């Protein structure tokens, strides 16, 4: 990895989930498309990802979004989601962070009362609409890529919980959606460690049991996350997405909410125009609306619109000294969880 002098990052969070935006100093990533660039990071050179997502320059509960020029002519900007395990194609909360950063810093011109942006991602084109006032983004709505259920109530053999049932669905990445009561927990802050460890254990158990592939996007062929869910009396869906090596998403999770909307659609519990509220472990909320129908390969699909809000709270500059022995970073299981050896 080579970059000039320093990296410039904006500090942003979406409903409590940190989604920093890398706005300057990053090296050029080879590839003709954002998908090819993401695959280059994952398969050829992951040094930039490790530099910005590992200690001593980072901590476990964060993501860094690599801002890039778009590769397609109909987009205003592009980004890749950099996390501790790999680069990912899409994230709803991080997309909201990116839109907020682009508009509130003037990198894309803000138009009040509403600005429309088109974002090039490895999962496809995302159309974002930001409600703006006095130079601030009051909310951001994302017209996500088509979401679809691959299978419902799929039996999964687990090492800790016996046989459970999961819905396998795509909402920008693939999810295994698990009703949390099956593991004897509730979605609450005091259960975050237990939920995180249960989620990454179930994700490991899925290997060899679930075979998936996106019909059109090469390389999207695995369950990225396990999301636990629960249903409140008013129809709100409580969500807890678990991330390797062992933490929970602080936000309600946009792609996970899209995947869950697809399962509701597949069951006939949601029709076009319906809105569902997703609530995170710490009480942050997104809304997920079904705005249309389509198909993806052989799968009936729903078009999700995710709405939330992000806040810029600072900026930082990262430098790399030539004699720094920890240029590729490190992670310890005391805070990062039990799977640090697999990163």
Active site residues: 91, 253
Pair of tokens at residue 163? 């046989």
Residue-wise burial string across 92-111, b where 16 or more C-beta atoms lie within 10 A, e elsewhere: bbbbbbbbbbbbbeebbebe
Q: Is-contact 168 150, C-beta < 8 A?
A: yes
Q: Is residue 4 packed enough to be buried (19+ CB in 10 Å), middle (13-18) or exposed (0-12)?
A: exposed
Alpha-carbon separation of residue 146 from 163, 164, 199, 240, 312 (angstroms): 30, 27, 25, 22, 29
CA distance 112 to 283: 29
Give φ, ψ of 63 to 5 degrees: -130, 155
Pair of tokens at residue 78? 């592009």
R_g over Cα of the chain: 19
């Amino acid at each position: 990895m080579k970059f000039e002098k320093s990296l410039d990052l904006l500090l942003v969070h979406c409903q409590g989930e940190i989604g920093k935006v890398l706005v300057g100093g990053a090296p050029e990533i080879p590839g003709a498309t954002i998908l090819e660039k993401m695959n280059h990071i994952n398969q050829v050179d992951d040094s930039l990802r490790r530099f910005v997502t590992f200690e001593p320059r980072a901590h476990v509960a964060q993501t860094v979004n690599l801002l890039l020029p778009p590769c397609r002519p109909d987009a205003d900007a592009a980004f890749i989601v950099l996390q501790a395990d790999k680069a990912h194609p899409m994230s709803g909360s991080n997309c909201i962070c990116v839109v907020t950063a682009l508009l509130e810093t003037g990198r894309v011109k803000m138009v009040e009362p509403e600005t429309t942006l088109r974002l090039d991602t490895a999962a496809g084109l995302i159309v974002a609409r930001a409600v703006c006032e006095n130079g601030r983004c009051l909310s951001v709505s994302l017209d996500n890529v088509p979401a679809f259920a691959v299978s419902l109530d799929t039996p999964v053999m687990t090492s800790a919980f016996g046989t459970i049932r999961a819905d396998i669905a795509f909402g920008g990445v693939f999810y295994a959606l698990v009703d949390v009561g099956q593991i004897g927990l509730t979605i609450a802050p005091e259960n975050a460690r237990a939920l995180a460890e249960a989620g990454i254990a179930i994700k490991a158990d899925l290997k060899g049991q679930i075979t998936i592939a996106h019909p059109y996007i090469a390389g999207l062929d695995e369950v990225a996350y396990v999301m636990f869910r629960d249903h409140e009396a008013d129809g709100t869906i409580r969500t807890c997405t678990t991330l390797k090596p062992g933490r929970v998403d602080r936000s309600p999770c946009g792609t996970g909410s899209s995947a869950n909307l697809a399962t509701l659609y597949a069951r006939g519990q949601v029709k076009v125009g319906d809105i569902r509220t997703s609530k995170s472990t710490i009480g942050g909320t997104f809304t997920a609306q079904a705005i249309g129908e389509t198909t993806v390969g052989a799968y009936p699909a729903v078009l999700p619109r995710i709405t939330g809000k992000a806040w810029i709270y600072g900026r930082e500059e990262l430098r790399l000294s030539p004699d720094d022995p920890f240029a590729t970073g490190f992670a310890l299981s005391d805070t990062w969880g039990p799977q640090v050896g697999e990163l």
